Structure 1
Amino acid sequence: MAWKHTSHQHFNLFSEITLDTEKVGRELETLIANTDRIDVNVERINFALESTVQKVRKDQKNFNEEEITAFKNAVTKLKEDGDYSEIVGIHADMSHNMHGTMGPIGLLRFLGWHRQYLLEFEEALQNADRILRPQAESLITIPYWRWVDPFPEWLQDFLPSIPGTPDPVPRSLSGSKPSSNDIDIIINGFDQQLSGFNVDGYTRFTTGLEGFGRRPDGSELPAHNQVHQWVGGIMNNTRYSPADPVFWLHHAEVDRLWHIWQKQHPDLHPVLNDNDRIMDPWNETSYDQLVSITTLGYNYQSESL
C-alpha cells in the first residue's frame, strides 16, 4: 500500500530545524477544527493493568554487566545479519510522516509512531538475544536514558557505523539538553505551549515533548529534538539517527515521559482520522492499539521525573 500523508519541507539535520510557530499554530487550529474527533476505545485502555508477562524497561544506569553485554551483542548480531540496517531504513522513509517538522499530521503521529517503532526494534533485539543466550531467564529490553543524566558511560565506545563506510561515526555531546526543570515544564506545564491558539491538550503536550516548546520566559524548551542535536554525529540526522544505538534509549525516555503524562491525562489523544491514524508501515496498527503500554505488555522501572 502506498501511504499518502500531507507533509511539509523536510529537514535533514535536527540542528537545521526551524519552525514558524504562528504558521504551525494556525495550521493546527484549522486541522483540529475540520477533523471529526474519533473516540478512543477506552475499554481497551488500562493504565494500571498487571499482566503476568510484563517486560520491564530499565534505567540504563541500572544495567548490570550481563545486561550491557547482552544488549551490545544483540545489536551487533542484528547488524551482522543485515536486520539493523532494515530497521534504520524504516525511519529513513519520511513518507511515514512521523515528525512535527513535516506538518501538523506529523506532529500528532510522532509519539504513537515511535512507540510502535520501539516495539518493532525490541522484538528484533530479543530475537537476537534469544539466539545468543538460549538459557537466559529473561531477554534484554530497551533501557531508557534520563536526559538529565550524563551520556550512558557503557555506550561511549559503542559507536554507530554507516553501511558502506569503514569508520565509526563520532558523537559531539555538546550543546543544550533538558534540565530537571525543563522536564517538569514538559509534563506539568504543557498547557503553556502554543498559547493563543485554539488547540487541544494533546497537541500542546506533544509540541513541547518533541522539541518545539518554549519556557515561560520565551526561550527554547529543550526536549527530543535538542537531545538528538546534543548527541550529534548520526543522531543529528533526522533520517538515519537510529543507526546510533543510543537512539533507542533516547526514544524510550520519550515514550516513558509520554506514559507518565498519559496517566495524568488519559482522555487526551491526537486528532487523527483515516490513514493518518494507521502507523504505517505497520498496516494493522492504529493509534488506538498503542495508547496503553501495560496493554502492550511492558512497563518502566521508574515513573518518576
Structure 2
Amino acid sequence: MRREVHRGAFVRGVIAASAAAWLGLSLGCGVEPSADAGDASAEAGRIVRKSASAMTSAEIDRFKRAYEYAVAEGFFDVFNDEHYDHHRNRHHGADLQATSPITVKVMDEASGYRLLPWHRAFLLEAEQMLRAALRQRDEEEGVDPSEADLLFLPYWDAAHDQDLPHWVHGFEPKGGTAIVPPGLPEGHAGYGKAVGERYGIVFGRWPGQNQVFDTLQAPEDVGRILAKATFADFYDALDVTPELRLENYPRALSGLDVLEMKLPDSAAVQTLVDTFSQPPSGSQGGAETTNALFEIGWIGAVEARKAAPDMELFDAVKDVYSLFNFMPHVRMHLWAGGLDPANADVRGTVTYFNELTVDPVFWMLHSELDRYWYTWEKTHADKPPLEGDDRSFNPLTASEGAWYGGGETYTLDDLTAHDALPYAYDALFGE
C-alpha cells in the first residue's frame, strides 16, 4: 500500500554554485546499530557512514532495497519539493534554473552560508526516512526489520575514486514525482506541462558526459580547501569561487578569438570578450557573465553531439573553460548528471533541483561535502556566520516527517556539536 506523503506546491528550483567571485557573484551557487560482521560499526553509539566504494555486499543490498522502495512509494517526493522551495529553506546561494543553456539567479549571502548546515539536517532526515522505508519493506516481505538500524547514507569520495562507485553506475531507481519548474527544455519528462503541476520523473544519468564539466576535483584541490582558515573562506572555495588557472589566460583569450570569429552575433561571446579583456582579478562582471559562460559551454556540448562537429569551435570552448578549476559542489553535480548523449538540452536528474533527491548520487555527494566540512571542523572552531532565524533549519516540516519520526527543527549549535550527532565518518578526508 502506497503511503501518502505531503506534497507542497512550490514554484522555484535551486542549486548553489557555479561561477566565480571575480564574476561578481556570491553563490552561496541517532540510532544504535546492532552487531553485524562486515557492516558499519558504531562509534560511541552512532552509525558510521562509509565510502560507497568501500561498502560490503550486505550494506549495498540493504541500501538499494531501502532506496528503490522509497522512490517507488513516493517517499522522496516531499524531499524533492522541499529542496525546490528556496523561499522557505534559503539553503543555497544561487538558483540554477532548469533552462537550457543553464542560467543562474543569485541569492543572498546568508542563504549561501546555510548550504552546509541545512544539507546536514536534510541528510539526517533522509537517513531516518530510509530506515523507516526499509522497515516497512521488510515487514511486507517477512524479513527481520531490525536490519534497518544498520542503514546509513554513504559518501562519494569523488576526489580519490575519479568515477562513480562501481555499483552506483547501474543503480537508477524508477518512480517519484516532482513539480514542474520554469524553463524545462523539450525532451525532459516535464516539458509541456504547466509550471507548478506534477510530472512523473524519468531518471537520467550520464556521468562525465557534460563536455565542459568532464573532470572531478583532485585530492590536492580538496586539501587546499581544507587549509582555509575561516568558515567563510572554506565555504567560498567549496561552493562559490573557482580557482583561476592564470597560466591558461592566453589560451582562454585565443579561444575567445575563435568563438568571436565563428559566432559573430553571439551576445554571450561578446559578454565574455568584454569580461576577459584584462586578466581577471577581483570582482568582475556579474550574473550576465556567468550565464554567458554556461551558454558557450552548452554550445560546445551541442557541437560535440553532431555527426561532423566543428572541432575548432569545440576546442575553443574548452580553451575558455581551461581558465577555471571549478568548485567541488558544482563539479560533482554536473559531472555526475552529465548531458543526454542524444540531446544536450537534457541534463541528468541530479542537476534538476526539483527532482534530484530520487538519485542516490545526490545524497552521496552531499555526504561527501558534509565530510569535508566535518573534517574541517575537527581543526577549526569557526562556524557559519549566521544570526537569528538563519541559525534554525527545518528541511521537512513536522507534518511531512511525522510518519517516519522526523520533521525536526535543528539549530546551528545542534548541527555543529560533533559528539551529539547521530553519525560519524569512517575516515576524515585525507586519512
Q: Normalised by the shorter chain, which TM-score bucket?
A: 0.7 to 0.9
> Does structure 1 residue 292 correspond to structure 2 residue 417?
yes
Asked if 2 retains the 8 angstrom alpha-carbon contact of 1:60 and 1:143, the reply is yes
> Does structure 1 residue 129 correspond to structure 2 residue 134?
yes
Asked if 2 retains the 8 angstrom alpha-carbon contact of 1:97 and 1:109, the reply is yes
Give the direction of change, closer, same or farther, for the CA distance of 1:11–1:92 in structure 2 (3 Å limit).
closer
* Alignment partners' CA distance in 2, 1:259 and 1:185: 15
Q: Which residue of 2 aligns with 1:273?
A: 387
Q: Which residue of 1 aligns with 2:109?
A: 104
* Alignment partners' CA distance in 1, 2:383 and 2:68: 37
Using the aligned pairs only, state the percent identity: 26
What is the TM-score normalised by the length of structure 1? 0.77
What are the superposed Cα offsets for residues 104-146 of structure 1, whole Å, 9 maximum, x if unpaired? 1111101100000000000001112234242438421001110
Give the direction of change, closer, same or farther, for the CA distance of 1:12–1:84 in structure 2 (3 Å limit).
closer
Q: What aligned pairs does 1:184-203 form with structure 2 within 5 A after superposition?
A: 184-188=223-227, 190=228, 201-203=230-232
2:235 to 186, 206, 218: 206
1:117 to 108, 112, 122: 122
Backbone CA RMSD of aligned residues: 2.8
Q: Which residue of 2 aligns with 1:145?
A: 156
Unpaired runs of 5+ residues, structure 1, are 1-9, 29-49, 192-200
Asked if 2 retains the 8 angstrom alpha-carbon contact of 1:51 and 1:297, the reply is no
Higher strand share: 2
SS of the residue aligned with 1:69? helix
Unpaired runs of 5+ residues, structure 2, are 1-11, 29-41, 95-106, 139-143, 178-198, 247-322, 338-347, 397-407
What is the TM-score normalised by the length of structure 2? 0.55
SS of the residue aligned with 2:48? strand
SS of the residue aligned with 2:154? coil
Asked if 2 retains the 8 angstrom alpha-carbon contact of 1:51 and 1:294, the reply is no
Code of the aligned partner of 2:225:
I
C-alpha displacement of 1:99: 1.1
1:237 to 352, 358, 361: 352
Larger Rg: 2
* Alignment partners' CA distance in 1, 2:91 and 2:379: 24
What are the superposed Cα offsets for residues 32-89 of structure 1, whole Å, 9 maximum, x if unpaired? xxxxxxxxxxxxxxxxxx9641110011111111111111110122123321111222
Which has the higher mean CA deviation after the structures are superposed, 287-296 or 108-117? 287-296
* Alignment partners' CA distance in 2, 1:91 and 1:293: 25
Asked if 2 retains the 8 angstrom alpha-carbon contact of 1:211 and 1:226, the reply is no
Code of the aligned partner of 1:145:
W
